[in-house]
């Protein structure tokens, strides 16, 4: 591993190369032809750092040993920021940067295929400008769902709708919601609306995408066919069998005209002959959200947690209840939690705090004691073997964390470690009976290494759990992708007031720290 001081030397040398550029072999022209500005750069550095430039330079033919690339739609200031980052990995201070400028930088980063910056600018938007996102929700979500690399922004937009679905879905600008965002909403198990209201809102959105007359009584068969063509992509996500028989009866004529014939007959039979079996056709009933306060716990994850732990068990845990945050004088890893984690490591069918545990836990780092910076994490926790990370959410006292069965490492570039044995968890303090367990589903991106971040579980661009940068050491982030379940009810950034890292070793082993 390269020593930190050597990396600093490398960074200084690359900065000199950026500042001088006497040996540059590429000219990049920014702006329109009448007011363009030319930048010199080195093709080898552009190609290594940006897939966009790699592709462009490969396609362009050299002209006297030099190549020219035009970027007509780029802002000069934005390009200078990104070009310096390409050379040096350094960004200017962005604390006072407006959200609209961050969006511009995000789009420019995506154009140049700089995934690290795409994630970074999204994090800044979600962390620093959440109120702005709320105030400019429609335009923000329309942009977010234009590209799969904007997963962090997408997840935040979805979570905002989930918090107050009636507010967003009843709004005048709801028909401007992107199609992908609406599909994502309809797929959720914990969307806290009755199924008939979900159908009504979806129908309203679909009608708004057409030029049909507002008076339904004037519609012809051709008009209904137009609406059916818009509606068909959403039909698989509406849970018609969970619309009450009364609501179904009140809309029966509309259902008959808009649903595929076979589906209509099946739903009709379900409501008129409920004694007949339709088990294979019925989607799971959505779970009404509870405690719609700042905790926003997931009923979905709670209801599915038992099936993840033990597919043969019929026990379904109850919903987590918010409790007062514990005193920071107490250790986050209680005896019952350590026993439960031991059971998860050994794949007990039903991990329990009452069973004897095969593992011991030795405290390596405590945020309030050693510090919350990513540098401290790597200096204390790298190359220590299996570890458990536990953080305490400031707003709720909730504990979220994860188990890494291999070493943590500090790498200058994003690197992944393959493992099937890692897992994430969340619970209210010492309430292991209702803990949520999320195991690996994409082992190739289970653990992520990067010197600029602390512990990262999952894909760097949409991490399932991540400690953010030195600039915001108490800001963490969660999403859902590489692991089976989200560990919080709301994806996105959250604050912690404590975190701890423990080395895990079997009883009888020596804990050499």
Span 137-186, pLDDT tens digits? 999 999 998 888 888 888 888 888 888 888 888 888 899 999 989 998 88
CATH number at residue 48: 3.30.710.10
Can you give the pLDDT at residue 63?
54
pLDDT over 70 at 117, yes or no: yes
Both 234 and 311 in one domain: the answer is: no
Residue with more model confidence, 324 or 359: 359
Pairwise CA distance, residues 380 & 156, whole Å: 32
Residue 511 lies in a domain: no
Can you give the pLDDT at residue 352?
55
Both 454 and 316 in one domain: the answer is: yes
DSSP summary character for residue 307: H
Residue 323 pLDDT class (50, 70, 90 cuts) = very low
Both 175 and 135 in one domain: the answer is: no
Pairwise CA distance, residues 155 & 298, whole Å: 15
Both 371 and 257 in one domain: the answer is: no
Residue 24 lies in a domain: yes
pLDDT over 60 at 453, yes or no: yes
Residue 246 lies in a domain: yes
Residue with more model confidence, 453 or 22: 453
Pairwise CA distance, residues 15 & 90, whole Å: 9
Residue 465 lies in a domain: yes
Give me the DSSP letters along 341-371. Answer: HHHHHTT-SS--SSS--SEEEEEEEEHHHH-
Residue 350 pLDDT class (50, 70, 90 cuts) = low
Both 139 and 184 in one domain: the answer is: no
Residue 279 lies in a domain: no
Both 41 and 93 in one domain: the answer is: yes
Pairwise CA distance, residues 384 & 381, whole Å: 6
Both 209 and 304 in one domain: the answer is: no
pLDDT over 60 at 512, yes or no: no
Can you give the pLDDT at residue 406?
94
Q: How much is the pTM?
A: 0.54
**Domain count along the chain:** 3
388-413 confidence digits (pLDDT tens): 999 999 878 889 999 999 999 988 88
Residue 291 lies in a domain: no
pLDDT over 80 at 1, yes or no: no
Both 133 and 156 in one domain: the answer is: no
Residue 338 lies in a domain: yes
Q: Compute the average pLDDT of residues 104-128.
A: 90
Pairwise CA distance, residues 94 & 121, whole Å: 10
Last residue of a domain, one of 120, 144, 168: 144
Strand-pair partners of 456:
448, 466
Task: Identify whether the C-beta of residue 28 lies closer than 8 Å to the C-beta of residue 41.
Answer: yes
Can you give the pLDDT at residue 283?
64
Task: Identify whether the C-beta of residue 24 lies closer than 8 Å to the C-beta of residue 45.
Answer: no
Q: Compute the average pLDDT of residues 367-371.
A: 88
pLDDT over 70 at 48, yes or no: yes
Both 29 and 135 in one domain: the answer is: yes
Both 313 and 438 in one domain: the answer is: yes
Q: Compute the average pLDDT of residues 284-300.
A: 45
Residue with more model confidence, 350 or 340: 340
pLDDT over 70 at 495, yes or no: yes
Both 64 and 195 in one domain: the answer is: no
Residue with more model confidence, 349 or 468: 468
Can you give the pLDDT at residue 62?
58
Can you give the pLDDT at residue 60?
65
Q: Compute the average pLDDT of residues 38-55.
A: 89
Can you give the pLDDT at residue 294?
30
Both 268 and 315 in one domain: the answer is: no
DSSP summary character for residue 480: -
CB atoms within 10 A of CB 454: 27
Residue 43 lies in a domain: yes
Residue 287 pLDDT class (50, 70, 90 cuts) = low
Last residue of a domain, one of 88, 117, 144: 144
Q: Which domain holds residue 382?
A: 299-506
Mean pLDDT of the chain: 80
Task: Identify whether the C-beta of residue 290 lies closer than 8 Å to the C-beta of residue 300.
Answer: no
Last residue of a domain, one of 272, 287, 307: 272
pLDDT over 90 at 466, yes or no: yes
Percent of the chain with pLDDT strictly greater than 70:
80
Percent of the chain with pLDDT strictly greater than 90:
33
């Amino acid at each position: 591993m390269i020593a930190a001081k050597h990396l600093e030397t490398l960074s200084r040398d690359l900065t000199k190369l950026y500042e001088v550029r006497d040996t540059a072999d590429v000219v990049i022209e920014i702006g329109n032809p009448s007011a363009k500005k030319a930048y010199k750069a080195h093709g080898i550095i552009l190609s290594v750092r940006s897939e966009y430039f790699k592709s462009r330079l490969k396609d362009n033919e050299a002209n006297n040993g030099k190549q020219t690339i035009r970027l007509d739609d780029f802002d000069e200031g934005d390009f200078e920021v990104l070009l310096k980052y390409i050379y040096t990995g350094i960004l200017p201070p962005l604390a006072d940067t407006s959200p609209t400028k961050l969006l511009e930088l995000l789009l420019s980063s995506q154009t140049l295929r700089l995934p690290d910056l795409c994630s970074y600018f999204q994090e800044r938007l979600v962390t620093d400008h959440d109120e702005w996102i709320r105030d400019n929700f429609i335009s923000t979500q329309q942009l977010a769902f234009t590209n799969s690399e904007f997963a962090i922004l997408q997840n935040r937009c979805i979570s905002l709708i989930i918090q107050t679905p009636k507010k967003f879905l009843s709004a005048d600008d709801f028909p401007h919601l992107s199609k992908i965002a609406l599909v994502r909403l309809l797929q959720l198990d914990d969307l806290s609306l009755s199924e008939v209201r979900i159908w009504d809102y979806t129908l309203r959105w679909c009608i708004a995408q057409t030029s049909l007359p507002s008076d339904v009584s004037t519609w012809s068969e051709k008009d209904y066919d137009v609406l059916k063509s818009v509606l068909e992509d959403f039909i698989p996500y509406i849970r018609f069998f969970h619309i009450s028989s009364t609501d179904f009866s009140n809309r029966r004529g509309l259902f008959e005209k808009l649903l595929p014939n076979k589906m209509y007959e099946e739903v009709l039979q379900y409501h008129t002959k409920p004694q007949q079996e339709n088990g294979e056709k019925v989607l799971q009933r959505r779970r009404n959200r509870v405690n719609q306060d700042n905790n926003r716990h997931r009923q979905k994850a709670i209801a599915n947690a038992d099936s993840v732990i033990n597919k043969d068990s019929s026990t379904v845990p109850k919903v987590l209840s918010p409790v007062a945050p514990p005193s920071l004088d107490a250790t986050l890893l209680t005896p019952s939690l350590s026993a439960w984690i031991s059971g998860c490591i050994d794949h007990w069918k039903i991990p329990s705090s009452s069973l004897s545990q095969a593992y011991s836990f030795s405290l390596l780092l405590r945020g309030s004691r050693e510090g919350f910076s990513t540098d401290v994490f790597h200096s204390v926790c790298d190359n220590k073997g299996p570890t458990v990370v536990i953080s305490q959410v400031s707003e709720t006292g909730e504990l979220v964390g994860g188990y890494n069965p291999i070493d943590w490492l500090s790498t200058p570039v994003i690197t992944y470690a393959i493992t099937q044995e890692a897992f994430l968890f969340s619970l209210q303090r010492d309430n292991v009976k209702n803990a949520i367990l999320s195991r690996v589903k994409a082992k190739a991106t289970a653990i992520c290494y990067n010197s600029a971040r602390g512990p990262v579980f999952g894909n760097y661009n949409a991490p399932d759990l991540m400690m953010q940068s030195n600039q915001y050491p108490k800001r963490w982030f969660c999403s859902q992708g590489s692991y089976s379940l989200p560990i919080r009810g709301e994806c996105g950034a959250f604050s912690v007031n404590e975190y701890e890292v423990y080395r895990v070793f079997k009883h009888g082993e020596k804990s050499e720290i």
